[in-house]
Structure 1
Amino acid sequence: MTVASASPATGGLRDRKKLQTRRALATAALRLVAERGLDHVTVDEISAAAGVSSRTFFNYFPSKDDALIGDQGLDGARFVARFESVPPETPALTAIRTALADVIEEMQADRELWLLRMDVITRNPALLPRLASVGAETERAMTEVIAARVGVPPDHGFPSLLTAVTGAALRTAMVRWAAAGGARSLPDLVGEAFDALAAGLPDPGPTPLHQSRTTS
């Protein structure tokens, strides 16, 4: 279905304004919680910091927690759609890596906000159940589309295993990225993780520092 009632310019401007407001609310929420802690920030304070009303806040996010964790559900749905668009002859692991590429580049481009988000989530474990809930929804969807791609039922072990290991690879890369304060490129770190998966996780060679310690 296409929407022909609005001109591209009008629709584009409206979408940009909505995106700007959504980003302003998320940024305000993250900065206030980083400064004060999760229990000491209200929706009213987030809204005021973003220059909008509390009513406007709830047009964009159902709760304070959702503003903090961001558009994880939307990002997950976009990722699943990108995965489904990869040519069917592409092996599933490669297809996941291909589908992730744009998402990872967007995260790298929005580096400061994502690093702040990861820091806030790490320091406020009460956010983890909501994050896990959203992640579980994406994993269920991924398991189904992987099963369809490779021609097995959803309860086959392969789709769930591939979803789990690629999710772990992405999380590992993101944790390393955050620990280094974004000094390394997130696409490079994700690439390293997926290269290791594709190679069957062979033992890495010792790093020069570790090698010098073991031989001294």
Structure 2
Amino acid sequence: MTANQAGQGVRARAREAMRAEVALAVQDLVLERGYDETTVDDICASAEISRSTFFRYFPSKEDALFGTTADAGERLRDALTARPGSETPWAALRHALDALIEQYEGHDERTRRLTRLIVSNPALAARHREKNARWQELLRPEVARRIGADPADVSDPRAHAVIASALGCVEAALAAWTQSARPQPIATLLDRAMGATSALG
């Protein structure tokens, strides 16, 4: 590794650390004050950064709130690709989703409150759907390969249908998790949702 490459690695890690710090500040403020009541200026004051620094890392308040899950789609794709070829596409997707579930359950009540806020706020729910649409594109080639479809054939709806169904089950599991006073583990809820969907066939 050259000195230039090492320097780039250090800068990349510093950038990600700053993004995580700002995202955490946004989440804390939103949970304390509410999403609409939290401004970029509030975020900058809490994180002790300037507005120009904030916008260097995030284009908007919404992006900052979702900042800690920015690379979740790539991790989900990699987890799916790593699943054994002997698994059905549905089983492979379910197992690949474990990494995502762990991210939610790792923070328990705090993450439950954030997730409840996201699904109940129209603007944030819309951004969440945009994220899912991006995940669809990331996952489509691998799912298409697993179902025997041509990954290059965008006119074939099967891969999209499988992914949309799986992500819909995730949404249903998260909704149940956020609304229950004594929630079951997300993995259990997701198993129930995906089991009910597969049983329809």
- Work out the CA distance in 1 between the residues paired with 2:142 and 2:174: 24
Matched, 1:151 2:148: yes
1:33 paired to 2:35: no
1:195 CA drift (Å): 2.9
Kindly state the Cα deviation for residue 87 of structure 1 after the two structures are TM-superposed: 2.0
Decide whether the 8 Å contact of 1:111 with 1:182 is kept in 2.
no
Equivalent AA in structure 1 for residue 23 of structure 2: A
In 2, Cα distance between equivalents of 1:51 and 1:165? 42
The separation in 1 between residues aligned to 2:182 and 2:69, in whole angstroms, is 20
- Give the whole-Å Cα distance in 2 for the aligned partners of 1:173 and 1:71: 20
Within 2, Cα distance between the matches of 1:44 and 1:182? 36
Mapping 1:30-179, distance limit 5 Å: 30-153=27-150, 154-179=154-179
In the alignment, structure 1 segments of 5+ residues that lack a partner are: 203-216
Q: Contact between 2:177 and 2:184, CA under 8 Å: does it hold in 1?
A: yes
What SS does the corresponding residue of 1:76 show, helix, strand or coil?
helix
Deviations 1:112-167 (A, max 9, x none): 34223223223431223322222211112222321122221343332122112111
Tell me if 1:187 matches 2:196. no
CA deviations on 1:84-117 (whole Å, 9 max, x unpaired) are: 1212222101110111112211210022342232
How many Å separate the matches in 1 of 2:193 and 2:49? 41
Q: Structure 1 residues 61 and 116, CA, compared in 2 at 3 Å: closer, same or farther?
A: farther
Q: CA deviation at 1:19?
A: 5.1
* Residue 57 (structure 1) shift: 2.4
Amino acid at match of 1:77: E
Q: Is the 8 A contact 1:72 1:134 kept in 2?
A: no
Aligned residues: 197
Amino acid at match of 1:57: F
CA distance in 2, matches of 1:3, 1:143: 36
User: What CA deviation, in whole Å up to 9, does each residue of 1:182-208 have, x standing for no partner?
Assistant: 73211221222223334x149xxxxxx
TM-score (norm 1): 0.75
User: Residues of 1 paired with 2:161 and 2:59: CA distance?
Assistant: 32
Give the counterpart letter for 1:122 in structure 2: V
Between the aligned partners of 1:20 and 1:185, the Cα distance in structure 2 is 29
Unaligned stretches of 5+ residues in structure 2: none
Name the SS for the 1:40 alignment partner: coil
> How far apart are 1:29 and its partner, in Å?
1.6
RMSD: 3.0
Is residue 2:197 matched to residue 1:197? yes
Q: 1:150 to 1:201 in 2, by over 3 A?
A: closer
Contact 1:47 1:54 in 2 (8 A): yes
CA contact (8 A) 1:65 1:127 kept: yes
